[in-house]
Amino acid sequence: MDDRLFRNAMGKFATGVTVITTAVNGDVHGMTANAFMSVSLNPKLILISIGNRANMKNLIDQSKKFAVNILAKEQKDASQYFAGQLNDRREIEFRWNNDIPILPNSITNIVCDLYASYPAGDHTLYIGEVKDIVMNEGKPLTFYEGTYASIS
């Protein structure tokens, strides 16, 4: 099966949009991702999938901490920025929680310590142990068939 068929099939699954954030030596880093899921209630664990060629992989390996910021529908520009789709340089405001940068105005921020990681093809699966959660009101930004959307 060719790569395009596989990507098109995976695009049929509507997802929320997240920005994964971490900090190394005081420098904040972020990356847009939609490969995120809950794993366990006891202990509270979540999973993200990061491409092995992505800078974020090495950063999480160093920091051993990350946050999953579930974006609100009004945060499409943040998603595009951290996906490298916008060429302009921006000053992004972050808040800090357990030494991890989080994006304010997200509908949820999930702050994690690295629990485990597993190589999986051309990606690495990172399991995070949830240390804190911040929730806000709002509707999620969603992604379906390569297009941003929102739930009405």
Dump pLDDT digits (tens) for 29-39. Answer: 999 998 999 99
Per-residue pLDDT tens for 50-90? 999 999 999 999 999 999 999 999 999 999 999 988 888 88
Residue from 58, 61, 52 nearest 116 by CA: 61
Looking at the domain assignment, is residue 151 inside a domain?
no
Q: What is the CATH number of the domain that holds 132?
A: 2.30.110.10
Q: How many Å apart are CA 100 and CA 10, to the nearest integer?
A: 30
Looking at the domain assignment, is residue 11 inside a domain?
no
What residue numbers bound the domain in which 57 lies?
19-66+74-145
pTM of the predicted structure, to 2 decimals: 0.94
Burial 47-78 (b: 16+ CB within 10 A, else e): bbbbeeeeebbebbeebebbbbbbbbbebeeb
